[in-house]
Amino acid sequence: MSNSTLESGKVHTPASTTVMSMQQALNRALDEVLAENPRTLIFGEDCGRLGGVFRITDGLQAKHGEQRVFDTPLAESGILGMSVGLAMAGFHPIPEVQFDGFAYPAINQIVCQIARMNYRSRGTLPMPITLRVPSFGGIRAPEHHGESLEALFAHVPGLKVVSPSNPHEAYHLLKYAATRPDPVIFMEPKSRYWQKGEVDTASHDADGGSPTGAKVMRAGRHLTLVAWGAMVARCLQVAELAAEDGIEIEVLDLRWLKPIDTAALAASVRKTRRAVVVHEAPLTSGLGAEVAQLITQSCFDTLKAPVERVTGFDVPYPSGDLEDEYIPNIDRILFGIQRVLEYKRG
């Protein structure tokens, strides 16, 4: 189920397709969600009048009013704790934490409360909360403004986690997440906010793929690169380079980091028989380990080499000058690919 035609836009460009940045795509999705569901609320630090430090909520307060889009005091635990009560009162909160690192002060409310309320109340108090988290590095930001929290969130029972890789995915995944009855952590790759791409607002997956599924962004037969968020674009670059050497790489955008689309993973790796997982988060206990295990479990008999990981390191996210050393770069991904391609059974 290759969507490479949709991505490149070379073939069929439907009338419902527009070119926009991820920032614009997210803004439009939120605008439509507010218009479609009067119970949705957007709030957080600076997201009202300012439109958010990344302008994702730009113009929404002016259009939908101060009741529905509002600034809160500077307190993440307060923002998330309040979301619980609003959800109990029948609203669909779409709170924002300004940067990934500031989700930490709210972890208590996210983990001990939001993630458990449905369970605790035996399904009578669902938590339809979509927490938007500008995520990951790559923008030379100050400390705590570039973290990769996916494994932490994915580890918590009761939370779902998703990350878009381009404007089209951003638009549709946010619209989908914001209509779910369960808490979704929506991780926006901030280094991709200003990247433009085609968005087909009419259809998420032209081939009828599932909105909760993974998606093949480029088809290939020699090896599968599994990635999400900003790393998808980088893996597509790598695939392009590898193609010059005759290596056909398949790039799978996982999209949902919880639940993971195991069937799509298996389908891709059964075809290519080799896989490398790429993520920005530190290696140890990262999501790459989970993906590798899912692949091992479903493709052990066909695998030609152990699944490799190319990731950030087990170090605190470094300052801007060392950022390029930390985030998986093209060379490191190519080394990972090489390790897998050259693997010999002992």
- Interface pick for ligand TPP out of 102, 228, 256, 326 (rule CB under 6 A): 102
Our finding on whether 100 is near ligand TPP (CB under 6 A) is no
Closer to ligand TPP at the Cβ: 43 or 171?
43
Our finding on whether 74 is near ligand TPP (CB under 6 A) is yes
Closer to other proteins at the Cβ: 228 or 326?
326
Closer to ligand TPP at the Cβ: 101 or 183?
101
Our finding on whether 54 is near ligand TPP (CB under 6 A) is no
| Residues within window 26-85 making contact with other proteins, judged by CB under 8 A | 45-46, 48-51, 53, 71, 73-75, 77-78
Our finding on whether 98 is near ligand TPP (CB under 6 A) is yes
CA 40 to chain CA centroid, nearest Å: 21
Closer to ligand TPP at the Cβ: 35 or 74?
74
Our finding on whether 330 is near other proteins (CB under 8 A) is no
Of 97-105, 121-129, 249-257, 270-278, the window that binds ligand TPP (rule: CB under 6 A) is: 97-105
- Asked if 109 and 77 count as a contact pair (C-beta separation under 8 A), the reply is yes
Instruction: Considering the candidates 64, 145, 172, 222, report the single residue annotated as catalytic.
Output: 145
Our finding on whether 318 is near ligand TPP (CB under 6 A) is no
Contacting residues toward ligand TPP, per CB under 6 A: 45, 74, 76, 98, 102, 105
Contacting residues toward other proteins, per CB under 8 A: 45-46, 48-51, 53, 71, 73-75, 77-78, 101-102, 104-105, 140-145, 283-284, 313-316, 318-323, 325-326, 331-332, 335
